[in-house]
């Protein structure tokens, strides 16, 4: 006897788990209306590591367009060299609280930290 996908037998335990998941799902699928229509809305779906890589690439592109010299860092203590200066890049999207949170700032060998924040329709950058 061959069962089609629609004919699979599902256990009661699985049904209970699926029902619980459907009840919980809205908590994880929040659509933040302030991002609707933003060119950066897609960024919200990225995992944290990908957001960090995106932040580095955005800073790289912005600096390159401005004619700044960009080089790879010779070690993992800085993300890149901008005009010969060791720079660490941190990236954040706007949180529900209306603030940016730049995380994992460590005591490493860099001269400047560039914190790039993207909100739905604006961007902010701090250099310290």
Specify if 115 maps to a domain: yes
Angle ∠(58,55,63) on CA atoms, nearest 5: 35
Q: Residue 82 falls within a domain, yes or no?
A: yes
The three-class DSSP label of residue 93 is: strand
Number of structural domains, the chain?
1
CB 63 within 8 A of CB 82: yes
Q: How many CB atoms lie within 10 A of CB 6?
A: 5
Q: Round to whole Å and give the CA distance between 61 and 27.
A: 35
- pTM to 2 decimal places: 0.76
Please name the residue that has the structure tokens 């004919």: 7
Would you say residue 122 lies in a domain?
yes
Tens place of pLDDT for every residue, the chain, 128 residues? 454 555 677 788 888 888 888 888 777 766 567 898 999 999 999 999 999 999 999 999 999 999 999 999 999 999 999 999 999 999 999 998 999 999 999 999 999 999 999 999 999 999 99
Domain of 88 in residue numbering reads as 33-127
pLDDT of residue 1: 44
């Amino acid at each position: 006897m061959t069962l089609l996908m629609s004919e699979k037998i599902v256990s009661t335990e699985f049904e209970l788990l699926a029902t619980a998941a459907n009840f919980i799902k809205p908590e994880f699928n929040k659509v933040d209306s302030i991002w609707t229509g933003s060119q950066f809305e897609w960024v919200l779906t990225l995992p944290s590591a990908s957001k960090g890589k995106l932040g580095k690439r955005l800073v790289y592109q912005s600096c390159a367009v401005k004619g700044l010299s960009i080089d790879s860092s010779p070690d993992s203590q800085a993300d890149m060299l901008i005009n010969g200066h060791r720079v660490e890049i941190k990236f954040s999207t706007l949180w529900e609280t209306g603030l940016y949170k730049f995380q994992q700032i460590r005591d490493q060998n860099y001269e400047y930290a560039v914190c790039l924040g993207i909100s739905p329709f604006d961007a902010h950058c701090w250099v310290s």
